[in-house]
Structure 1
């Protein structure tokens, strides 16, 4: 279980670094704020990987100024709600916008 968690965190961190570079994106004021948001996104994704009831591969996580937006697909309303609760439980999260669509 620890190996799985470690690999998930490493994978998420590498993905963030490769896809985002070091530039501050539109809407963010400082590099520090960007780093904080990237950390929140990484933590949310790694917690999704740890939770067997959430399909981390089907959920996209974006963070801007502490607000986490979840998009993608959930298999059920329970999975959608679990994903939102996990995101709310991460330190630094100010709000969660749950845009997950439930796929029948």
Structure 2
């Protein structure tokens, strides 16, 4: 290889590497498709929780990020927590459930 080709190839390769790294998705942001999927999952979970008469679903918050559902809020018993988590796990698209609910 000639010296002039090396001088040209190295900066081009470095620029390409930086450009390719900028195209990689980050784990902190969901793509548009993931955001829509998460919105559907959140809606389905809220609907299923609302159907359960033993739960005060208005006091349970549901957030979804990349299929991982976080439940938070106040509930009256450990049985209510277990029921809410079980219902959430059964919803299609849920990859995992994080329980942040507090007994009141």
TM-score with structure 2 length normalisation?
0.72
Does structure 2 retain, via aligned residues, the 8 Å contact 1:61–1:70? yes
For 1:70 and 1:27, how far apart are their aligned partners in 2? 19
- Which 5+ residue runs of structure 2 have no aligned equivalent? 1-26
Superposition RMSD in Å: 1.2
Does structure 2 retain, via aligned residues, the 8 Å contact 1:88–1:95? yes
For 1:73 and 1:97, how far apart are their aligned partners in 2? 14
Structure 1 runs (4+) greater than 6 angstroms displaced = none
Does structure 1 retain, via aligned residues, the 8 Å contact 2:85–2:97? yes
- State the 1:54 CA deviation: 1.1
Whether 1:85 and 2:86 are equivalent positions in the alignment is yes
For 1:97 and 1:73, how far apart are their aligned partners in 2? 14
- State the 1:88 CA deviation: 0.3
Whether 1:72 and 2:73 are equivalent positions in the alignment is yes
SS at match of 1:62: strand
For 2:79 and 2:88, how far apart are their aligned partners in 1? 14
- State the 1:33 CA deviation: 0.4
Q: Count how many residue pairs are aligned between Structure 1 and Structure 2.
A: 78
Indicate the structure (1 or 2) with the bigger Cα radius of gyration.
Answer: 2
Does structure 2 retain, via aligned residues, the 8 Å contact 1:40–1:63? yes
- State the 1:28 CA deviation: 2.8
- Which 5+ residue runs of structure 1 have no aligned equivalent? 1-25
For 2:43 and 2:29, how far apart are their aligned partners in 1? 18
